[in-house]
Amino acid sequence: MRKISFSIGEYYHIYNRGAGKSDIFISDSDRKRFMKLLYVCNGTNSVVFKDIKNINFENIDRGETLVDIGAYCLMKNHFHILLREKIENGISIFIQKLLTAYSKYFNKKNNRTGTLFEGPFKATHVDSDEYLKYLFAYIHLNPVKTIDSNWKENGITDDKKIERFLMSYPFSSYIDYIGISREWDKIIDKSSFPEYFSNYEEFHSFIKEWLKFNTNPAKASLW
């Protein structure tokens, strides 16, 4: 059972991984499918699968959005989403639609049956500005472990290489915070989160500082 309840206007870190730590994203098309679902499932209207396949963000009628998404990142066997609840039960409805739709797609594509994710999704309440700001770094820096698994323990030896990698990693909202325009930026709603970064340079400097001085504010490390 989940130990926390969700409240309108509050921020939460949502995450989950594959059952038995198995991969939930095998190809780039899988990741793009999940990102499409992040947009399409965030609404009171039903998910129409033909809309997911041939999505045009401008023409999708989602209805009223359920949550505001501030950041996300997709890894091979897990995902992270930072969001704010907008309507009662918005988070639960959104995540149920998202994971159900993706599981059906993944199982059909790979001719498999059974549970794809490791139990109910996990959630932590973001109860301070310090923790909320920390999550913008933690979530966006997750992909670094794919090219330097021990960067937190050993530090960064080539920060330019890391920066180039993050800028070329399309399966997170990092790109949407550094001034690169793309269709996927419609997934997030920056206006519903505190304005910690007044411009792209401030966000870039913030991430760069975390690369050099990674300190976790008394929160457990998550996948």
- SS3 string, 83-150, reads EEECCCCHHHHHHHHHHHHHHHHHHHHCCCCCCCECCCCEEEEECCHHHHHHHHHHHHCHHHHHCCCC
Each residue's pLDDT tens digit, 97-129: 999 999 999 999 999 999 999 989 999 999 999
Q: Stretch 146-156: mean pLDDT, rounded?
A: 77
Distance CA(76)–CA(94), nearest Å, equals 21
Residue ranges and CATH numbers for the domains of the chain are 11-126 (3.30.70.1290), 129-212 (no CATH)
Each residue's pLDDT tens digit, 167-222: 999 999 999 999 898 989 999 999 999 999 888 899 988 988 887 776 454 444 55
CB 27 within 8 A of CB 110: no
Q: Which pLDDT belongs to residue 2?
A: 66
Q: Which pLDDT belongs to residue 222?
A: 55
Can you give the pTM of this predicted structure?
0.91
Each residue's pLDDT tens digit, 40-96: 999 998 866 665 666 667 778 889 999 999 999 999 999 999 999 999 999 999 999
Does the pLDDT of residue 130 top 80, yes or no?
yes
Distance CA(175)–CA(167), nearest Å, equals 6
